[in-house]
Structure 1
Amino acid sequence: MRGPLPGLPTPHPLLHQLPAVYLDQPFVEGFLSALDEVLAPVLLTLDNLPAYLDPRTAPEDLLAWLAGWVAAEADGEGPVGRRRAVVAGAVARHRQRGTRAGLAAAIRVETGIEPEIRESGATSWSGEPGSALPGSALPRVRVRLRVADAQAVASTRARLERLVATEVPAHVGYEVEVVAADGAGA
């Protein structure tokens, strides 16, 4: 957590903004130096505002705040690098949300593993009214994830189910399968 730093220098001393006639007045100098000490953190924060708003350089405690701005799930539990990647890529992923590519990207960011995704939907065009619809009547997405550690299968499955539920469109059903790389499933 950030806090005030004692003796922080001001980037723009107020005394230097006054006409020369006030420079050798002890009261003015003391009064303005006290104001400089109060205003220094504010001015330095404003001077560095782009660094605070960039997920690659923002302080750790601001990442959750930035994640809220871009509607990203960047919990405080994961590694900092992964949380920064989630926030930095959130806007691009939102453009793909509800698509197969968007679901795959969300799973890759969350788990670091390439998922196998099968979907039952399809599209087609017909000049005749009443022609058969493509895909199945009930759209469904099947996600399979192969994890290296057989002990992590249950915990990965719970996280993956929550993620898939938020990423697929509301009218689309889904199935999640997490299997160990050796083939044993959960």
Structure 2
Amino acid sequence: MVQSRSSPAVSIQLTPMQIPEALPVAGLGFANADMDVAGRTLLLHPGHPSEMIVQVQNLEQHPLRVSLSVEGNFPSQWCQIGTEGSEIPPRGQMDAVLYFSIPDTFFEDQEAISPGTKNKLTLNFRSLVTLHIDPGTENEQIERSEYFDLYIRPYTAYMEFLPILYREVDFIGRFMKIFEQAFQPIVDSYNVMWANLDPLTAPQALLPFMAHWVAWQVDSVWDLQQQRRLIRRAVELYRWRGTRKGLRLYLHLYTGLPLDEDLPNEADKHISITEPFGPSFIIGDVQLGNAVLAGGQPYHFIVRLRSNISSGIINEQLIQRIIEQEKPAFCTYELSIENPTN
């Protein structure tokens, strides 16, 4: 049974967390709009959450058990209620939050923008908070807050470039959104133009064009990340072709093994390139039986790769192809690969 009282048992105060700078005039909004309507309005942007704080003050000398609900001419799934509990101590206060969330596609999904329809797009809604005191008992009472308005507007950053005088006009904000949707994608494309010119971040469709810039042969043998690294450092590979540094860099870009430039001993590196030169025939130091003339095989080098689990199995045929491409034509080599074992 719902009872009515001459004096309310609670007071309800609403505090919007986002107040619109511009309010619709009486002809475009609600007819009973007054001077303090801004304190009872909440601005909503599709895709951006907004909150209304509800403070309920208990005016009685005994605790009250309450239940909160929201009524309005908007879809119920737009609003979620968060409360601290269901009981207010004597002369105490309870805070609740109304979480409003409008779908991102609010404007696109409206039938009003479809051709041939005569309906108008609804942007302004009205709501109130209903408080049930001692619900489900014979002493149940219902208290309602003042009406508050919900204004759904598209978010536009272009309003920040206008004087404050123009921001106070609701129509201008919606009008500027048209220009923002038309020009902002062009502005954004210029802001990220650098990413389209870097092989590491450029779209995959641009990689053949960028490879043509540096005269790099795109090979299907390489995976996408390897191709990006090779195209980006192609000019550097050309500069050091035929040298130990160039070959080590090429093998590093393919295998992902570290360069180990901080290691002074060549044999300790993951990508080791050594030349088998020893001491030559020197009179007085040499002993018969172990002398080697010329110090080893000329124009010959040894490549040793020590792989790890993270780099995976190394393709030996592809490594030989890289060495043949990068080494001087008169040089010979030996290849040794230590693949990880499971």
Question: What TM-score, normalized to structure 1?
Answer: 0.53
Note if 1:175 corresponds to 2:334: yes
Q: Which residue of 2 aligns with 1:103?
A: 247
CA contact (8 A) 1:103 1:168 kept: yes
The SS at the match of 1:141 is strand
For 2:240 and 2:323, locate their aligned partners in 1 and report how far apart those are by CA, in whole Å.
14
CA contact (8 A) 1:64 1:76 kept: no
**CA 159–87 in structure 1, closer or farther in 2 if over 3 Å, else same:** same
Q: Which residue of 1 aligns with 2:306?
A: 146
My pick for the range that moved more, 69-78 or 96-105, is 69-78
The SS at the match of 1:102 is helix
Paired amino acid for 2:256: G
The SS at the match of 1:116 is strand
- Listed one character per residue, the Cα deviations across residues 124-152 of structure 1 (whole Å, up to 9, x for unaligned) are xxxxxxxxxx8756301211112236xx7
For 1:96 and 1:157, locate their aligned partners in 2 and report how far apart those are by CA, in whole Å.
23
CA contact (8 A) 1:52 1:59 kept: yes
Note if 1:63 corresponds to 2:207: yes
- Listed one character per residue, the Cα deviations across residues 128-186 of structure 1 (whole Å, up to 9, x for unaligned) are xxxxxx8756301211112236xx75x6211110111101111111111112356xxxx
> What are the ranges of 5 or more consecutive residues in structure 1 without an aligned counterpart?
1-44, 122-133
Q: Which residue of 2 aligns with 1:118?
A: 274
Q: How does 1:1-186 map to 2 (within 5 A)?
A: 52-76=196-220, 78-113=222-257, 114-120=270-276, 138-148=298-308, 156-181=315-340
Q: Percent identity?
A: 32
> What are the ranges of 5 or more consecutive residues in structure 2 without an aligned counterpart?
1-188, 258-269, 278-293
Shift of 1:97: 1.2
Question: Between Structure 1 and Structure 2, which shows a larger proportion of helix residues?
Answer: 1
For 1:106 and 1:74, locate their aligned partners in 2 and report how far apart those are by CA, in whole Å.
15
- Listed one character per residue, the Cα deviations across residues 83-127 of structure 1 (whole Å, up to 9, x for unaligned) are 221111111222111111111100000111231111258xxxxxx
**CA 116–171 in structure 1, closer or farther in 2 if over 3 Å, else same:** same
For 2:231 and 2:295, locate their aligned partners in 1 and report how far apart those are by CA, in whole Å.
34
Aligned residues: 124
Select the structure of larger CA radius of gyration.
2
Question: What TM-score, normalized to structure 2?
Answer: 0.31
For 2:256 and 2:201, locate their aligned partners in 1 and report how far apart those are by CA, in whole Å.
22
Pairwise CA RMSD: 3.4
The SS at the match of 2:315 is helix
Shift of 1:66: 2.1
